[in-house]
Structure 1
């Protein structure tokens, strides 16, 4: 049994586990949003950073990278890694993954995706929607054990552009963070 993992945030540029193949593509019915609080990597419990999660969105697609893992021991190691890395994400989904926007059938079915839901009972770190300015200001201020929250945003922006994806939400946030930083200096 082959395992596939879909990354739509930091996994695009840094999987952190051994994989046999990396394929660029997308999932349908979701959009990437900076609504998840990070109190363990890009922020602290006192000042959470913001990371991406997926929000159901009819007719939308979310580009990213899928990782194919063939060996059972690599799968176990990858899952251990992801359970720590994605521990603030409260839902695991198995979704269809596409590589061709015109395709009617998926390239891969059952790709594992970690999602942080808006359910405050199972996801205490969900921050939810805010204006681009509010989210950007929070990203500028937050930093955690993995570094400044702005680095997460800029690395994601670069990774998305490298795979040919122009995500307007990410671009708008990155531009607003750059504007705030320029204003402060």
Structure 2
């Protein structure tokens, strides 16, 4: 496995890697947290009204869950992703270890695309209500920005129901509040995304064996959180652009 090029998706690559792959594994990387700090002026926004997509920030205590993909053809996948993320999206690459959700699987290196603060669309750490407002009011050639966050929320809630992503879920709550106040039908995208993820082909939500593993994962995390809550306990270990939209980002 170490000789293979695996690609880690933590945003739109989760539901749309854009390349054929032999295998996909859900898991996490450590030392990074996912944030809606990258602007989108085509896929989920416009030049005069930027949408928000995710990137990673260094966080010694953080971790980010997503999906690692093993491409059918490494050269084709790398060429496609370099164009999608580096040349058009303002991202750079790094290599880090991926920890599969299945504890029987050994960690292995993955390629990760990360937006740099130096790129022209990087928006950075604005207040969460401001980020939520951007998401609730932006859309681009690939659809409404709410569709993007709703698919990420669906992935986390269906595949990893015992994992907390505070930044993501806080944004979800505020975006929903904004849409409710506007009486916007766009709020239905959250429900649609959940239903679509549950019903997608080979969804782990319908796989009893994997569902059991998820329950075990949740129990392990609950036990760890309880242990960390005790006095004098150890501190944590858990805690692009295109001219047109060919694929949904």
Q: Does 1:170 align with 2:168?
A: yes
Using structure 1 for the length normalisation, give the TM-score. 0.88
Cα deviation, 1:38-88, whole Å, max 9, x if unaligned, reads 11211111111000000000121111110012x4xx222222332233231
Higher strand share: 1
Aligned CA RMSD, in angstroms, stands at 1.9
Using structure 2 for the length normalisation, give the TM-score. 0.67
Q: 2:50 is matched with which residue?
A: 48
Cα deviation, 1:102-130, whole Å, max 9, x if unaligned, reads 89x96112x110000212xxx11000011
Native 8 Å contact 2:90 2:120 kept in 1? no
Q: Per the alignment, in what secondary structure is the counterpart of residue 95 of structure 1? A: strand
- How far apart, CA to CA, are the structure 1 residues paired with 2:77 and 2:152? 21
1:90 Cα deviation after fit: 2.6
Q: Per the alignment, in what secondary structure is the counterpart of residue 18 of structure 2? A: coil
Mapping 1:1-185, distance limit 5 Å: 1-69=3-71, 71=72, 74-86=73-85, 87-99=88-100, 107-109=107-109, 111-119=110-118, 123-164=119-160, 165-185=163-183
- How far apart, CA to CA, are the structure 1 residues paired with 2:50 and 2:101? 36
Q: Which has the higher contact order (CA 8 A, sep 6+)?
A: 1
- How far apart, CA to CA, are the structure 2 residues paired with 1:63 and 1:133? 23
Structure number with bigger Rg: 2
The unaligned stretches of length 5 or more in structure 1 are none
Seen in structure 2, the aligned counterparts of structure 1 residues 22 and 101 have a Cα distance that, compared at 3 Å, is closer
Q: Per the alignment, in what secondary structure is the counterpart of residue 125 of structure 2? A: coil
Native 8 Å contact 2:51 2:138 kept in 1? yes
TM superposition outliers: structure 1 runs of 4+ over 3 Å: 100-103
1:100 Cα deviation after fit: 5.4
Higher helix share: 2
Q: Per the alignment, in what secondary structure is the counterpart of residue 2 of structure 1? A: coil
The unaligned stretches of length 5 or more in structure 2 are 184-249
Native 8 Å contact 1:89 1:114 kept in 2? no
